[in-house]
Structure 1
Amino acid sequence: PTILSIQFELFNKSLKLAINQAVNRNFDEPQCNEMIKIHVEHHNFLLEQFTLINRIFSPIMLAHLLNTSIMVCFMIYALSESENNATSMKYSLYIVGPLA
């Protein structure tokens, strides 16, 4: 299921619950309309936030972040396995370069 279909399913359930509550409490039409409006605005807000997060953290960006993290892990491993300070200095320049 897509995020949009999940969002519509959640919206449908919360709207049914709101209508049932309105019927049980004998709300008049303006009160029912206000409850529905609040639910629609809430779900629109959630959908906008998800869209924003999805736009910021695109799959390409996540792949780049994962690639960078793995590269740093390999460099830290190389530093920990080095036998002397000269080798450590050589690898530390490789670490500082991409991160600077």
Structure 2
Amino acid sequence: MFFDSKTVLNRMDRLIQSTNIKKRATPHIFRHTYINMMAEAKVDLPTIMQHVGHEDIETTMKVYTHVTNKMKKDDPTKVTNLYGNILWTIIWNAIIYSSYSV
């Protein structure tokens, strides 16, 4: 089924009017949102590229996958989940052992 852009925009305008959204919404905004949601869900890049029809990885990386606040917030947890407290152990041991050589 094919929809021309005017029909899609008209339908979106009607849907948005029934919400409390004040910004002008476009299909492109939803495209960005969809791609960012896939990135946050840790969908691999080739799959994202296939979903949105990109052939060039640079397009997907530069234009669409900016770091979201949720991704920033989850970064320390991801590192801890993957490596535990190994970094703090290494730092602590470096401090303790360097104090003995003084």
Range of TM-score over shorter length: 0.3 to 0.5
TM-score (norm 1): 0.37
TM-score (norm 2): 0.37
Q: Which is higher, the Rg of structure 1 or of structure 2?
A: 1
More helix by share: 1
